[in-house]
Structure 1
C-alpha cells in the first residue's frame, strides 16, 4: 500500500487471468516487488496454488506460495509468502490459450467476484484474460467490466472504465467500437451520464472532494467552428453546459492535441475522451508500466493492469510486473478511502 495509508480490514482478491498469458508471472513479480518495498497489502490470489508454484519454479521467481482455505487467513499468511486460495487449480502452460485455461480464468473471476460482492474481499484485482478464448467456451460478455456490472446488478452503462496512472486519468466514452461508428454513438446524455459517475468515483474512491473534469473534442481543432465537424457544437458543448449547471467543474471541449501536455494535465483530475485510442494512447505513452484500469460506478472496487495477456512473451520472464503492482496498490488505497469514509 501507499505509505501512511491505513490498510482496509478485509484482504483484496487477485484473479489468475489466463494461465497461458503473463498474468501468473506478473502476479508473482508484483507481490515480490511490493514485499521488498514494504507496500504489500493483505491480499490473496483466487485459486492456482500449484499453477503459481510451477510458474515460480520455472521462471526462478523466489516467491513462496501459501495455500489458504479462507480469505480471512490471508492477513496472517502473507507474512510467509503469497496467500493463494486452494480448491481451484490447473496446469501452467505458455503455449497459447486453451479451453481449459479459459475455464480456469473464468472460475477464478467468478469466485473472486462473489468474494468481493459479499465483502469477504475489500477489492478485486483482475489479471488479463483472453476474450477470444472465453468466447470459445460460451462467455457472452465484451469484457470483464461488463461481466462485473451484471454480477453487481448494474446496467453496463453504469460501469465506467477509467485508465489511471501517477500523472493522468482518462475515461473513454466509447470503448470497443470502430472509429467510424464513434460519432453516431456520442450524445449529450452519454457524456453527462459518464461524467457524473466519474465525479462520484473520484470522490468515493480517490478522496477528491471537488473533482475537475476536462472533456476532449472529437474533431481536429475542436471542429474549428464547424469546418471539421459539428459534434462539438451539437453534442459536446451542450453536455458541458448541462454539467456546469449541476455544479460540476468541467472544461472543454479541448482539442485532443492540447489536452495532454503537462500544463493541461495540471488543470484537471480526469479527462473524458470521445473514443478508445484518444484515452489510451496518452495514458500508455506516459504510464505504460504503471497504468491501471479502474472500473467506476460499481458497488465493488475493481482494478486491473492496463495491458493484455501478452501470449507472445508469456513464460519467458520478460513481463514487467509494474502495472500489476500499481493495480494492487491502487485497489488497496481505494478500499482504504471507502473504509475511512464509513468511519
Structure 2
C-alpha cells in the first residue's frame, strides 16, 4: 500500500532538503501546499497542489504531513496539523521555545499521532562515522569534542534584516544540529555556558553561537558562525586512545543543492579527500591515517518515520529529544545575557 506524504511549503527547505529524500524512503509525495504552483507542476506533476496549509490538512488520504514553512510558524502549524488528525514531521527548529515545544508534544499525545523533527544531521556521514568510532572503542574514552559549522556569508537573508523573530537565528538553525548531535552522544549536560552574537552589518539576528557543555568527564564545544572567512574544522575529537579530525562538512547538502536525489547512485558517498584523520601513538610514535567515512543517509530519517507510523513504534527523533535541545539553547542565551554558567 502506498505511503502518502503532504509537504507544507515549497521554498528552499521543502524543495531541496525534503522532497528529494522521500522516494528513497518509500514515500510518495502526494500533495504540496504552496503558492509556487508552476514549480510544483514541473517537479511533481502527479502531486496535488493546495493553496494553503489548512487546505492540505483537510486531505484525509495523507499518512504524513511535513512542515517546512518559515521557522516562526512551525509550532502553530504542527499543532493545527495534529489536531486535524495527521502524523507530523516538523523541520528544525521544532518550536520557538521549550514552552511551545511542550504544546506541540501535548497535541501529538492528545491526537494519538506521531510528531517528530527533521534532525537529518544525525545521518551525516561524519556523525555516523564518529558514533561508529566511539562504539568500537577506537578513540577510547572521549574527553573533549569541538564541533562546528562555519561559513562566510556577510549578507544575511533579507527577511532577517533588523527584525528579530521568534525561532530565527543561528542558534535555532545550525545550532539545533550541533547541540542535538552532542546530546545524542553524551546526553543532557550538567551545565552550559556560552552566548549568541550578532556581528554582520545590517542584521538584527544572531549569526554566531558559542556553547560549552559540561559533563562529568567530557567537555564539548559547539560553534556555529556565518561570518568566518576561514572555516573551522567540522570535528576535532580527543580520546584516551586516539584523536579524530574531520575538516569539511558532510556532502549531502551540496548534492541536494546540485539536484541529486537520495535514490541516485553515489548519494551520501564522500570522496577520499574528505575523509577524516585518525591520530594514534602506538609504541609512543605518532601515526596519522585517513579514516574512511560511512555513507551519509538523510533519507533514513524518513524511512524510520514511515516504519514508526506503520508499526506503531517510536519515531527516530522524538519531540522530547528536540525539546531538550531547546532547553540547552535557552540556557546558552541565558548564559550570554548573565555572563554565568547555567545548570541544567
Q: Determine which structure has the larger helix proportion and give its number.
A: 1
Superposition TM-score, scaled by structure 2 size: 0.31
With CA pairs under 8 Å and 6+ residues apart, which has the higher RCO, 1 or 2? 1
